[in-house]
Amino acid sequence: MNVINKYNIILYSQIYIVAIYCFNLLFPDALFHSFFFLIYLIALFYLVFNNFFSELTVTKTIILIFLFIGLSSPTTAWDARSVWMFHGKRMFFENNVLAQLDDYGKLNNDYPIFVSYYASQIANLLGEWNEILPKLSPFLISLPILIFLSSLAKSRKQELIICFLYLFILDKKMIMGECDAVLSLYLVLIFTLIFNPDLKLNSNINKSLYKQLFLLSALVIFSNLKTISPLIVIIILIVYIYSNYKNLDNKIFFLIFISMLPIAYYKYILFFYEIEKHLLEFLLTQNNITLILTDFSSHMKILNKILFNKEMFITLIFVSIYFSKKFFKNKSNKMSLSKNFLEAAYIFVLFVGLIYFITAIFIGHQFYDQLLLQIPRYIAPACFLMTFETVNHLFRKSKN
């Protein structure tokens, strides 16, 4: 498969799964026929196996390893089982995209359902639900993006390092049915499309049109992955405005606005059925503000979890290597950091700060300890973005 076809298939596959989801969300009384999802799987098969030994071989081998491991056991992750896979299971058995509107159990029924929808489509394709295959829905959704990001590598060595990031920052999160890995990949994709104007895409589609369509589909998927997703989009927008306030592209604002319509529509449905009120009631009535402001021990625990974990450790290593390279390369010992690197750093800091704030809100609540344990997973997207962009700069030949 030549480069042109590869990029076209990646774009079309993303537009395709967005379109199916949006249309089925508008007509939720029955799942669309599994044939629609089968077409997407055929496109994935073509992406992975065509030119396997001559193009991105390492990345494609990693994909097969992830698939093999994912097919060997059911998920043990609590969020995956109790949220995305549980909602997907209900969609499948009730043949309804909005099966959670009965508010069964009054737990996590306000979560976005994009991943759950495709978990139900996998079961629909098989004709039955099982505890193994549906959990691969996040991985299958993000598989074209894995290939796309690896294709940005300028050498085999850089591809190897990117695969290292897949293995050691995203690791089992890729195949456990959770959304943090796919959130990480789409965060990097959106950053690349918005903040890298020199991105070269060897597609037979107009470069500007390709980037706009790709960005729109990526934003729709990203905003429908987790409850926190729209807040991260706001962070990206803030950094974009701050960094480019003298030369803003109005198309970016328009694409972000359009991309928010599906999640806004879904949230409207939740509000209409009074499901969204659970989180709001907690935030307004169950917070102990005095405890949050004075329990310094709990705040130290949050900082400890943010700073001392594998994801942050890998990020700091690569950033340190980048700074060392810049320092010793510049004879005047005055480092000038590139604009893209700073933009990634801003998003990284704001993202981690958001996770800190959300965790701190739950100080004194029964869910606090559970959130505390999950912090390394929650900050993985920020770490992956920062490390990926750092690797790009380590292999960049410019003077920056």
More reliable by pLDDT, 332 or 219: 219
pLDDT at 400 exceeding the cut of 70? no
pLDDT band for position 77 (50/70/90)?
A: confident
How confident is the model at residue 326, as a pLDDT?
A: 82
How confident is the model at residue 399, as a pLDDT?
A: 45
pLDDT band for position 73 (50/70/90)?
A: confident
How confident is the model at residue 266, as a pLDDT?
A: 96
How confident is the model at residue 164, as a pLDDT?
A: 96
How confident is the model at residue 364, as a pLDDT?
A: 85
pLDDT band for position 181 (50/70/90)?
A: very high
How confident is the model at residue 280, as a pLDDT?
A: 52
Q: Where along the chain do its domains lie? A: 3-230
220's tokens: 């729709």
State the amino acid at position 355 in one-letter form. Answer: I
Q: What does the alpha-carbon distance between residue 3 and residue 166 come to, in Å, rounded to a whole number? A: 22
Please provide the size of the chain in residues: 400
Q: What does the alpha-carbon distance between residue 55 and residue 190 come to, in Å, rounded to a whole number? A: 24
How confident is the model at residue 15, as a pLDDT?
A: 96
Chain position carrying tokens 């993303």: 14
How confident is the model at residue 346, as a pLDDT?
A: 98
Q: What does the alpha-carbon distance between residue 160 and residue 297 come to, in Å, rounded to a whole number? A: 41
More reliable by pLDDT, 317 or 282: 317
pLDDT band for position 198 (50/70/90)?
A: confident
How confident is the model at residue 281, as a pLDDT?
A: 58
Residue 328: CA atoms inside 13 Å, Cβ hemisphere, count? 5
How confident is the model at residue 276, as a pLDDT?
A: 67
Report the 3 state secondary structure along 299-339: HHHHHHHHHCCHHHHHHHHHHHHHHHHHHHHCCCCCCCCCH
pLDDT at 361 exceeding the cut of 60? yes
pLDDT band for position 183 (50/70/90)?
A: very high
**Helix, strand counts (H, E) of the chain:** 21, 0
Contact 137, 119 (CB under 8 A): yes
Nearest CA to 136 out of 76, 88, 176 is that of: 176
Write out pLDDT tens, residues 207-248.
Answer: 889 999 999 999 999 999 999 999 999 999 999 999 999 899
Whole-structure pTM value: 0.95
How confident is the model at residue 278, as a pLDDT?
A: 56
Write out pLDDT tens, residues 12-38.
Answer: 999 999 999 999 999 999 999 989 999
Write out pLDDT tens, residues 250-294.
Answer: 999 999 999 999 999 999 999 898 886 655 555 556 667 888 889
